[in-house]
Amino acid sequence: MRAKVYVTLKPAVLDPQGKAIEKSLHRLGFEDVRDVRVGKYIELNLEEKDRNRASSRLDEMCRKLLSNPVIEDAKYEFAD
């Protein structure tokens, strides 16, 4: 089962990398860009066939390694 995981900073957390990208885009002539936020995208294959068990495992992976739950939100979807 293929899963796509999206990790983003929580809205209240400052994103200096996003700000740097926004400023660079402005310098390149893209002045209409606002509020750039940077995150992570992770694809992985699970050998688990049961979607409920796979969801449980992904929740655990996100909490333990793929994200920092204090400052990041993680969501995932299955690519059937």
Which pLDDT tens digit goes with each residue over 1-40? 999 999 999 999 999 999 999 999 999 999 999 999 999 9
- Does 71 have pLDDT greater than 90? yes
Domains of the chain: 2-79 (3.30.1280.10)
**SS3 of the chain: helix, strand, coil, percent, to 5:** 35, 30, 35
The 8-class DSSP code of residue 29 comes to T
pLDDT digits (tens, 9 = 90+) for 35-57: 999 999 999 999 999 999 999 99
Phi-psi region of 29 (alpha: psi -120 to 50; beta: other; left: phi over 0): left
Identify the pLDDT of residue 6. 98
Identify the pLDDT of residue 80. 75
| Residue range 75-80: mean pLDDT, rounded | 93
Q: Hunting for tokens 């969801």 — which residue is that? A: 55
